[in-house]
């Protein structure tokens, strides 16, 4: 049994490489570099708002600040955010497994992992919606609210776009758009999802721990 399994894997690996296409190879390189550069410019967008947050934060003596009615604003709820973070980081792991399954041509496992990622992504968005609903500060009420809702909202928008993207990838993969050697869309989706994770690490520290 073990030998036939080994043979099957071997055939799968051969199948993966026998349709190697140099045109595709070069296009893939271009798209990968282009996508990474896009992520770099996106990092600058977040960094600029993080700078704004830190600048506004340092321009008042105490943080959380006092709002315009003289009320001391509360800190953010770390417990809820921690649960939410675990959900998002978990989705990073499942996305990684989805990609690895694809590379091993294990489509069933790929489908399972990418669906898990999508569900966890939706879970994160639901958690964030709940957090916004329960929040004791408003977007327009203070600079704290302004930077918090703008930054986490931008991040949530990225997660939302990512979830849509993953659903598209899931459909495309099952329609046979990607093969064992041509799957740049999946690579880009994975990169994007991990990027969204990394941004969250920074935001989690900046808003909940700092």
Partner 1 sequence: MSVAATFTGHGHAHDHIHPEPTGFVRKYLFSLDAKVIGIQYMLTGFLFFIISGLLAEVIRVQLLVPKGALLSNDAYNGVYSLHGSGMVWMVIIPLMTGGFGNYVMPLMIGARDVAFPWLNLIAFWMFPIAGVILFSSFLIGAPDAGWTEYPPISVQGPPGTTLWCVAIFLIGISSTLTGINFMVTIVKMRAPGMTFTRMPLFIWAQFATAALNMIATTALAAALLALFLERVFSIPFYDPARGGSPLLWQHMFWFYSHPAVYIMILPAFGIVSEIYPTFARKPIFGYKMIAFSSVAIALLGFMVWAHHMFTSGMAPWLQLPFMILTMVIAVPTGIKIFSWLATLWGGKIWFTSAMLFSLGFIATFTFGGVTGIFLSAVPVDLHEHGTYFVVAHIHYVLYGGSILGLFAGIYYWWPKMTGRMMNDRLGHWHFWLTFIAFNVTFMPMHWLGLLGMPRRVATYDPQFQFFNDVASIASFVLAGSTLLLIYNMLWSFRYGPKAGPNPWGARTLEWQISSPPPYYNFKTIPAVLKNPYNFGEPLPYIGLESMAGEDGHGPDPHAPVPVHA
- Positions in the binding site for partner 1 (CB under 8 A): 22-23, 25-27, 29-30, 33-34, 37-38, 40-42, 44-45, 47-49, 51-52, 55-56, 59-60, 65, 68, 139-140, 142-143, 145-147, 149-150
The span from the CA of 19 to the CA of 82, in Å, is 45
User: What ranges make up the beta strands (E) of 157-208?
Assistant: none
Residue with Cβ nearer partner 1 (149 or 200) = 149
Q: Is 137 left (phi over 0), alpha (psi -120 to 50) or beta?
A: beta
Residue with Cβ nearer partner 1 (89 or 132) = 132
Closest approach of partner 1 to the CB of residue 23, in Å: 5
Q: Are 15 and 180 in contact (CB under 8 A)?
A: yes
Q: Are 204 and 81 in contact (CB under 8 A)?
A: yes
Closest approach of partner 1 to the CB of residue 49, in Å: 5
The span from the CA of 73 to the CA of 61, in Å, is 13
Closest approach of partner 1 to the CB of residue 119, in Å: 31
Closest approach of partner 1 to the CB of residue 149, in Å: 8
Closest approach of partner 1 to the CB of residue 55, in Å: 5
Residue with Cβ nearer partner 1 (51 or 130) = 51
Q: Which residue in 48, 81, 51 sits closest to 209, CA to CA?
A: 81
Closest approach of partner 1 to the CB of residue 151, in Å: 10
Q: Are 191 and 36 in contact (CB under 8 A)?
A: yes
Q: Which residues contact 64 (CB under 8 A, 6 or more apart)?
A: 72, 73, 74, 75, 144
Residue with Cβ nearer partner 1 (67 or 111) = 67
Handedness of CA 161, 165, 170, 172 (dihedral sign): positive
Residue with Cβ nearer partner 1 (68 or 175) = 68
Residue with Cβ nearer partner 1 (30 or 107) = 30
């Amino acid at each position: 049994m073990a030998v036939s399994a080994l043979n099957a894997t071997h055939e799968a690996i051969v199948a993966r490489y026998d349709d190697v296409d140099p045109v595709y190879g070069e296009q893939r390189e271009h798209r990968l570099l282009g996508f990474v550069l896009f992520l770099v410019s996106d990092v600058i967008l977040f960094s600029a708002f993080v700078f704004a947050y830190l600048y506004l934060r340092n321009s008042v003596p105490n943080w959380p600040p006092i709002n315009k009615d003289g009320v001391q604003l509360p800190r953010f709820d770390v417990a809820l955010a921690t649960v939410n973070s675990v959900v998002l980081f978990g989705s990073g792991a499942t996305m990684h497994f989805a990609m690895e399954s694809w590379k091993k041509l294990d489509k069933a496992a790929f489908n399972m992992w990418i669906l898990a990622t999508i569900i966890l992504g939706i879970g994160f968005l639901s958690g964030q919606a709940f957090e916004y609903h329960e929040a004791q500060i408003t977007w327009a009420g203070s600079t704290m609210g302004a930077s918090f809702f703008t930054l986490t909202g931008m991040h949530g928008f990225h997660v939302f776009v990512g979830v849509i993207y993953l659903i598209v990838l899931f459909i495309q993969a099952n329609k046979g758009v990607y093969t064992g050697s041509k799957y740049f869309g999946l690579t880009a989706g994975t990169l994007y999802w991990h990027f969204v994770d990394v941004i969250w690490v920074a935001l989690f520290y900046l808003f909940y721990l700092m």
